[in-house]
Amino acid sequence: MTADDPRPWTRRLAAALAVLAIAATIPVRFAISHGQPLWLDETWTAAIAAQPSWAAVVRQAWLDVNAPLYYLFMHLWAGLFGISDVSLRVPSALFGAAAPLAVALIPGTGLRPVPRLTWAALLALWTQGLYLSGEARGYTLLILLCVLSTLAFMRLMRAPSLGRAAVWAGLAALAILAHYHALLLGALQGLAYLAVHRGKAVKTWPAALLFAPAFGWIAVHLPRIAEFMRPGIAWYNILNPRRVGAALAYPFGGRETAAHLAVLLALAVVAWLAAWWAQARRAPAEPGPGWPAWLAVAAGVAAAAIVIGMGFVRPSFTDRYLVPFTPAILLGVALVADRLGRGSGVVCAAAVAVFAWTAVPYAQRQVEHGWRWYNWEVASRDLMKARPQRLVFIWDHPASPILERSQLDMIGGFFFKRAGVPVTVRSLVLDARKDPNPVVLAALQDPRTALIWTYDRGVLGTAARVHPPRLSAMDPSLACRNYGVGNIGVLACGRQGSVDSAKP
């Protein structure tokens, strides 16, 4: 019995763990944000999805900094199923559940059953993936597309053909249209394909035409993206050594999981070296049928390293930008665990147990106590009770100056519009160099006008960071309440007690 032909019980154990992980996390994906309001980014999704026409959606997608595919899908979805909070989040849960299922069920990649099923289980239990499954954003769609493109890449590397190249190129292009950082993953996979198969790869060149829509859109969108990258507009902080640990731990679900996994693999390495020293049977040293998987891992790791490295040079990094590369990194965990366990499945099962050890309490905390504080849905509901005729909306953020006022009006009044409560929205863009309180107060002189002022004081260039709101002190007739916590502020003001009754 060789390491490439594991014992039947090993396969059954891996299959059982994968089935258990996938089945147990499916309901979690649907429950993890149940009853929670839409936060800032989800409100953007909702407002764009609710646009009256495809042309309007494309226009809003161009104005936004993100890739367009998810917005286009959500517009179609909203037309069929509406724009309630539950409806808007269902696709993310479905995509999140589909990704590990694809790993477990799609054949022909050359991966043996144990590492393949371990990969599926790890992907199902990845805590960040569970969290992302509960919000109306495109990250689980991105995970699914990156999983599918990586599987297609491994199939292509095993047996190059125009058909397989077209499948890989089409999926990689869709991933790019879901998130621009997926371009790095696709480029590195493409370079690996050319380097290994050379002439055979060149003969499949027509498949590269499938990248044309993605590159065409990027060319059109690039001027707008450049505006968001201007100094003073880009809102991410430059990456520093203190944050590197959190960034490196993100693909594993966080520091706790990463630390436990490191201990497990270290112990497995010691056991592997001891067995080697005792002249025990060794796994084949040369790449076997699963070698394309190692290339897929290398592409994902290299792409993640590039993104992290760029974060040290310019304000362009947040942990979520590692999402496109996480499937490949988790594949690497499964391959290493399988190699250290010599095909026995023991180390693979232990790796799954480590992920489950943190995923279970994490999911429980999120389902029972999670709350997306950076939202104005609750504040909007309370303000509606007083039926204001006008709403002053402020998204106090360094990117606000380059947004069209219609965009700010759209997200500021979204919850009023969805509820059928008529209100005229007037958005203000604050100058962080000046005290905004007198300007905001002047806009609230009409008693039928309400205010929502939302901000994150952890972001440089936010007016409230330098000049905290003090509207009630300046005008005692205003009833104001901050619905945020910590650095997050969601200040709602109105008259006649319109914000008194809300409880997050």
Q: Tens digit of pLDDT for each residue in 412-422? A: 999 999 999 99
Structure tokens at 213: 């829509």
Residue whose C-alpha is closest to residue 203's, from 173, 165, 171, 158: 165
Are both 354 and 382 inside the same structural domain?
A: no
Query: Cα(239)–Cα(316) distance, rounded to whole angstroms?
Result: 8
| 3, 60, 183 from 116: Cα distances, Å | 14, 40, 25
Residue 342, pLDDT score: 77
The band of 496, judged by pLDDT with boundaries at 50, 70 and 90, is low
- pLDDT (0 to 100) of residue 158: 94
Q: Which two tokens stand for residue 367?
A: 């389902």
Residues whose CB falls within 8 Å of the CB of residue 410, separated by 6 or more in sequence, listed in order: 47, 60
What is the rounded average pLDDT for all residues in the chain?
A: 90
The span from the CA of 483 to the CA of 492, in Å, is 8
Q: Which residues contact 349 (CB under 8 A, 6 or more apart)?
A: 13, 14, 17, 118
Asked whether residue 504 is assigned to any structural domain, the reply reads no
- What integer pLDDT is reported at residue 243 of this predicted model? 86
Same domain, 272 and 325: yes
Residue 499 forms part of a structural domain: no
pLDDT of residue 258 exceeding 50: yes
Mark whether 64 and 194 lie in a shared domain: yes
Give CA–CA dist 210/208, Å, rounded: 5
Using only the alpha carbons of the chain, give its radius of gyration.
Answer: 25
Instruction: Return the pLDDT at 439.
Output: 95
pLDDT at 1 over 60: no
Q: What is the SS3 assignment for 390?
A: strand
Q: 173 near 152, Cβ under 8 Å?
A: no
Is 442 within 8 Å of 403 (Cβ atoms)? no
Residue 27 lies in a domain: yes
pLDDT mean over 100-125: 95
Q: At what angle do helices 113-125 and 85-105 cross, to 10 degrees?
A: 160
Question: If you average pLDDT over residues 93-120, what whole number do you get?
Answer: 95
Same domain (yes/no): 490, 432: yes
Residue 292 has pLDDT above 70, yes or no: yes
Tokens for 397, please give them: 């953020």
Across the range 377-382, mean pLDDT stands at 96
pLDDT of 503 reads 38
Closest CA to 133 of 323, 297, 307, 322: 323
> Same structural domain for residues 395 and 333?
no
At residue 380, the pLDDT reads 97
> What six digits make up the tokens of 443?
């806009």
- Give the pLDDT band of residue 2 (cuts 50, 70, 90): very low
Mean pLDDT of 42-71: 97
Greater confidence, 59 or 497? 59
Is residue 364 domain-shared with residue 381, that is, in the same domain? no
173 pLDDT tier (thresholds 50, 70, 90): very high
pLDDT of residue 186: 98
Last residue of a domain, one of 331, 348, 369: 369
Kindly provide the b/e burial profile for residues 463-473, where b requires at least 16 CB atoms within 10 angstroms of the residue's own CB: bbbebebebee
- Where residue 280 falls among pLDDT bands split at 50, 70, 90? very low
Residues 322 and 383 occupy one common structural domain: no
Distance CA 331, CA 140 (A): 17
Model confidence at 300: pLDDT above 50: yes
**For the chain, what is the domain count?**
2
Among candidates 238, 202, 290, which has minimal Cα distance to 4? 290
What average pLDDT does range 430-450 have in this prediction?
A: 93
* Interval 92-104 mean pLDDT: 98
Statement: residue 281 has pLDDT above 90? no
393 lies in some domain: yes
Q: What type of residue sits at position 407?
A: Q
With contact defined as beta carbons under 8 Å apart, do 435 and 375 qualify?
Answer: no
Domain that holds residue 288: 8-369
Q: Is 362 in the same domain as 381?
A: no
pLDDT at site 230: 86
> How many angstroms separate the CA atoms of 118 and 105, rounded?
13
* pLDDT for the residue 241: 86
Please state whether beta strands 424-427 and 449-456 pair in parallel, antiparallel, or not at all (unpaired).
unpaired
What 3-state DSSP class applies to 235?
Answer: coil
DSSP sequence for 430-456: --TTS--HHHHHHTT-STTEEEEEEEE
321 and 264 belong to one structural domain:
yes
- Cβ distance 257 to 354 under 8 Å? yes
The answer to whether position 26 is within a domain reads yes
In a domain, 500, yes or no: no
353, 369, 385 - which closes a domain: 369
Beta bridge partners of 449: 390
* Per-residue confidence (pLDDT) for residue 282, from 0 to 100: 45
Neighbours of 304 (CB within 10 A): 25
**Top-confidence residue, 285 or 421:** 421
Nearest CA to 394 out of 454, 458, 474, 328 is that of: 454
Is 1 domain-assigned? no
User: Domain check: are 430 and 408 in the same one?
Assistant: yes
288 pLDDT band (50/70/90 cuts)? very low
Q: Is 286's pLDDT higher than 70?
A: no
In this prediction, residue 123 carries a pLDDT of 98
Domain limit, last residue, from 325, 342, 369: 369
Least confident of 150-159, 262-271, 323-332: 262-271
Q: What is the pLDDT of residue 273?
A: 61
281 and 341, same structural domain? Answer: yes
Instruction: Summarize pLDDT for 9-31 with one digit per residue, the tens.
Output: 888 999 999 999 999 999 999 99
Distance from chain centroid for Cα 394: 25
Cβ atoms of 61 and 73 closer than 8 Å: no
Share of the chain above pLDDT 70, in %: 92
Q: Locate tokens 């010599």: which residue?
A: 342
- The predicted pLDDT at position 498 comes to 52
Reply yes or no on whether the pLDDT at 500 is more than 60.
no
| 330 and 409 co-located in one domain | no
For the cut 50, the answer to whether the pLDDT of residue 283 exceeds it is no
Distance CA 63, CA 54 (A): 14
With helix as H, strand as E and coil as C, how does 62-88 read? HHCCCCCHHHHHHHHHHHHHCCCHHHH
Q: Are 247 and 239 in contact (CB under 8 A)?
A: yes
Q: Has residue 166 been placed in a domain?
A: yes
